[in-house]
């Protein structure tokens, strides 16, 4: 009788095991949220963790990898070359926007996603024509060609873009008002976050500042997590097939260039709030993958010993910078949701869009 009871228990445990394995099977990837912390290395994220009084969303990541950031012509990349690498899967020269080393346009993942009927969007905390967002919507030989990049964005077909840079569209040297072109294509033009929140579906051009948006230390508030949440809602409504959204915490880089630890930490904490929005969306929407990384590290930030007792307060942590420029170190990759296990290795930055495109089943 005892042996029968043991066998019954074993059979029950095996049944539970197989049922849990079947229920845990991942759905195919339908939505991708690609999040880029401009200038965000490991020290930037760890500094934010030390400052925070709560566990950060970064710490929810299910898989962690590393990305090599060098460009085609320099071991230390700029945002344009790295943005292009992460948008197109092609290494290129510093300063290039969506073109290869021969200055020929190369298709980006957002363009490929639209071919499959997916909705696409971009949300940033700087000028929307800045290097990283431009790499997902434009093809120009130089990142300095801001008005040409704005013209490309206005013709890109992206469902939505939200950030600063209004003057690139309305106060141009050529006298063209690109918002007129956008309206003719069916875009709602939003000039405030409240106006962004009033759009539930369709096309949206959010131009919320004349140039770069304010830094967190200047009072930007919860724009990034709230704009991210609204973008996710709009894109989900726009296409039943799924979507691709790129979100950039743009001004972590600004703090690095200025060697201002307070800007770095406040911007990284703000970016983490947007990551929490993305992870929560993935929890509610099976088939969503969130990939968080950086284009490069900025400032050579370190946390040296200050020979005092370890405390979590600001006074107990010293931050030192080694440069006002970028560095050539690898940057972290945090992945969450469907397909996340594919990002737990050391990768070229060009591998990121290739892996994401494969998971979405995008045409070559």
Say if strands 288-293 and 326-327 run parallel, antiparallel, or are unpaired. unpaired
Catalytic residue among 47, 67, 71, 79: 79
Asked if residues 247 and 302 have their Cβ atoms less than 8 Å apart, the reply is no
Where are any strands of DSSP class E within 191-234? 203-207
Cα–Cα distance list, 359 to 55, 198, 355 (Å):
30, 32, 6
| Dist. CA 156–CA 136, nearest whole Å | 9
Residue 225: CB atoms within 10 Å:
19
Angle between helices 261-284 and 223-238 (to 10 degrees): 30
CB contact at 8 A, 91 and 350: yes
Contact at 8 Å (CB) between 111 and 84? no
| Cα-based angle 128, 130, 134 (whole degrees, multiple of 5) | 75
Please tell me the distance from the alpha carbon of residue 62 to that of residue 52, in angstroms, as a whole number.
Answer: 20
Q: What is the DSSP code (8-state) at residue 140?
A: B
Element (H, E) at 327: strand 326-327
Task: Mark whether 322 is an active-site residue.
Answer: no
How many Cβ atoms sit within 10 Å of the Cβ of residue 16?
10
The Cβ of residue 245 has, within 10 Å, a number of other Cβ atoms equal to: 27
State residue 195 phi and psi, 5-degree precision. Answer: -65, -35
CA distance 140 to 118: 24
Residue 321, number of CB atoms within 10 A of its CB: 19
Q: What are the catalytic residues?
A: 79
């Amino acid at each position: 009788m005892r042996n029968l009871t043991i066998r019954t228990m074993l059979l029950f445990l095996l049944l539970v095991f197989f049922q849990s394995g079947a229920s845990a099977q991942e759905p195919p990837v339908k939505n991708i949220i690609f999040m880029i912390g401009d200038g965000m290395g490991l020290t930037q994220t760890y500094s934010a963790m030390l400052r925070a009084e709560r566990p950060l969303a970064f710490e929810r990541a299910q898989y962690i990898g590393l990305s090599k950031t060098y460009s085609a012509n320099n071991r230390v990349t700029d945002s344009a070359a790295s943005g292009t690498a992460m948008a197109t899967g092609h290494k290129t020269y510093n300063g290039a926007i969506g073109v290869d080393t021969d200055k020929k346009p190369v298709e980006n993942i957002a363009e490929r996603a639209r071919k499959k009927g997916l909705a696409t969007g971009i949300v940033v905390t700087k000028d929307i024509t800045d290097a990283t967002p431009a790499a997902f919507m434009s093809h120009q030989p130089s990142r300095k060609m801001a008005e040409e990049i704005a013209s490309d964005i206005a013709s890109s077909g992206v469902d939505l873009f939200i950030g600063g840079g209004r003057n690139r569209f309305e106060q141009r040297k050529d006298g063209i008002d690109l918002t007129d072109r956008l309206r003719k294509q069916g875009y709602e033009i939003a000039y405030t976050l409240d106006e962004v929140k009033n759009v539930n579906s369709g096309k949206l051009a959010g131009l919320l500042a004349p140039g770069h948006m304010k830094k967190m230390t200047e009072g930007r508030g919860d724009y990034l997590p709230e704009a991210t949440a609204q973008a996710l809602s709009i894109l989900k409504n726009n296409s039943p097939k799924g979507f691709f959204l790129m979100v950039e915490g743009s001004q972590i880089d600004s703090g690095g260039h200025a060697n201002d630890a307070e800007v770095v930490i406040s911007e990284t904490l703000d970016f983490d709030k947007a990551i929490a929005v993305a992870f929560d969306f993935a929890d509610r929407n099976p088939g969503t993958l969130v990939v968080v990384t950086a284009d490069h590290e900025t400032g050579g930030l370190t946390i040296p010993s200050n020979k005092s007792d370890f405390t979590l307060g600001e006074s107990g942590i010293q931050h030192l910078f080694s440069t006002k420029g970028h560095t050539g170190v690898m940057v972290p990759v945090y992945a969450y949701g469907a397909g996340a296990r594919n990002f737990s290795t050391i990768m070229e930055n060009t591998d990121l869009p290739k892996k994401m495109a494969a998971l979405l089943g995008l045409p070559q």
